[in-house]
Amino acid sequence: MTVRVPEGPDAGAVWHYGDPYREQKELVAGRAGVDFSHRPVFTVSGRDRLKWLNDITSQALLGLAPGTPTVAYILNAQGHLQHVFGAVDDGETLWCHTEPGHAEPLTDWLRKMVFAARVEIAEAPDHAVAIPPGSGPVVVPRAELDAVLGEVRAGSWATEALRIASGTPRIFLDTDDRTIPNELANPDDGRLGPAVALGKGCYPGQEAVARTYNLGRPPRRLTLLHLDGTANDLPGVGADVLADGRPVGRMGTSERHHELGPIGLALLKRNLPIDAQLEVAGIAAAQEVLVDPETGLHFRPARG
């Protein structure tokens, strides 16, 4: 039995194959493949592709090895998230994919930034994104999709539940137009989550990210919410998260996990007590901290 997502950005994708909890377990064990062919694919080719993208995105791409999956953000001057894409290079072409409905504004923006760089951007409708068993995302010809995925499959219910449990935000759903990368991850080993290299050179929005990291605190923090399992429904994306009846944050994605039960991601006010009991769409929720409220260097000059 194949059940497809009826609406939303993943409409038409496989939601589950009849047993979403078993599919989660197969994914964890590295035995299931996932069809991500609803994600739009485009390419960036040309000798300058990695240097050019290194200069305009949050990711360090100069040394990207062929076959290594990566992800990058594009920020505005205030550090707010504007675009996101995953990618893998084959030595000649960077194969990119992004969220459904967001490919056209992303590629339009990229084309406006080419100037004198020797790069070419093209849509690739004859290719698709897949997650082979035990692997990360790859881009393959659509004719090879079934062979790459294998016989054991998992749907978007399983992938979303595991993603949420890992604390990995989905841009445009777990974020809004005010989100900065500092709200989404703790700094670790020169990085701010998988898409931001803190030590790389200047790029649009880099100053705002560095200033928040070095001298301030982000206004919000990504949080894993454990939702009351007796509720029949899950909260919608964008719903207000309440504490004592007052809005304290924005709900993102949610799903039912095979071990944790119903869970979701939310952006909450940084100074909200981490033990505050919450409610969203009439459902009680408890916090599990993902981003430390005090994250960052917070350097202050010593007083003489």
How confident is the model over 233-258, as pLDDT tens digits? 999 999 999 999 999 999 999 999 99
Instruction: State mean pLDDT over 64-69.
Output: 95
How confident is the model over 9-48, as pLDDT tens digits? 999 999 999 999 999 999 999 999 999 999 999 999 999 9
Residue 303 has pLDDT above 50, yes or no: no
Residue 304 has pLDDT above 70, yes or no: no
pLDDT in the model for residue 40: 98
**Tokens (6 digits) for 261:** 């039960």
Range from 53-62, 136-145, 208-217 carrying the lowest mean pLDDT: 208-217
Q: Where are the domains of the chain?
A: 1-32+152-178+219-304
pLDDT in the model for residue 200: 87
How confident is the model over 91-102, as pLDDT tens digits? 999 999 999 999
DSSP string, 47-77: TTHHHHHHHHSSS--TTPPTT--EEEEEE-T
Nearest to 235 by CA among 180, 281, 203: 281
- Matching residue, tokens 């050019």: 52
pLDDT in the model for residue 295: 77
Q: What is d(CA 278, CA 255) in angstroms, rounded to the nearest whole number?
A: 17
Q: Which segments of 76-201 does DSSP mark as H helices, in order? A: 103-112, 145-149, 156-165
CATH superfamily of 1-32+152-178+219-304: Aminomethyltransferase beta-barrel domains (2.40.30.110)
Residue 300 has pLDDT above 80, yes or no: no
One-letter amino acid identity for 294?
A: E
